[in-house]
Amino acid sequence: MIAFVRHGQTELNRGRRLQGRVDVPLSAFGEQQAAALARAFASRPVARVVSSPLQRATATAAAIAAPHALPVETDARLVELDYGDWDGRALAEVPAADWAAWRDDPDYAPPGGERLADVTARVARFCADERDDDLVIAVSHVSPIKAAVCLALGVGDRATWQMFLDVASVTRVGRRPGGNLFLAGFNDVSHLAGIEG
């Protein structure tokens, strides 16, 4: 089972900006969320903790790994979609026509950025490599996690636009004996009860 964890909040998240490859730390509230995630997984038999190389993800992963005395492995396949020229921009600053073109076509790439189809391809390779029954925590970002959900459900990339994924949420993807992925849980934030930011 892969538990895909979206990293905790950052100031760019809070400001409704596209983060992409901008490497920013967790906010103080994001650190609280990471601690809540660590408590949620503390009693689970976690085999490995894998993370995107961006610091908002590695900090979240380190909090989860600490109670298990596990190292955090980094895997570039879990990194956020590269928004290119849109990195760091407020959603409202993206031209409406460009945003519509992106939502309509998984092969569209933001200027200087990455196609959603490319994100799905690298997440598919990551999932294919995780073949055991142990619990693997994969700390990532909104686009790769939504891609994993699309793979598990057998739907196209455009379905990502029909999903909402909270920061510090947990989405679980498993593999059936025949090899097919399945969705075991989506956007679980029950561990964040009582935390206010």
**Three-state secondary-structure class, residue 139:** strand
How far apart (Å, rounded) are the C-alpha atoms in residues 77 and 140?
Answer: 9
| Closest C-alpha among 116, 167, 158 to residue 139 | 167
93 is catalytic: no
Using CA of residue 92, residue 95, residue 100, residue 102, what is the dihedral sign? negative
7 is catalytic: yes
Q: Taking the C-alpha atoms of 113, 119, 125 and 130 in order, what is their torsion angle to the nearest 10 degrees?
A: 120
Assigned token pair, 3: 């538990």
Assigned token pair, 196: 């206010």
| Closest C-alpha among 166, 138, 136, 162 to residue 150 | 162
Taking a C-beta distance cutoff of 8 angstroms, is the pair 149, 16 a contact?
Answer: no
Of the residues 80, 130, 141, 191, which is catalytic?
Answer: 80
Active site amino acids: 7, 80
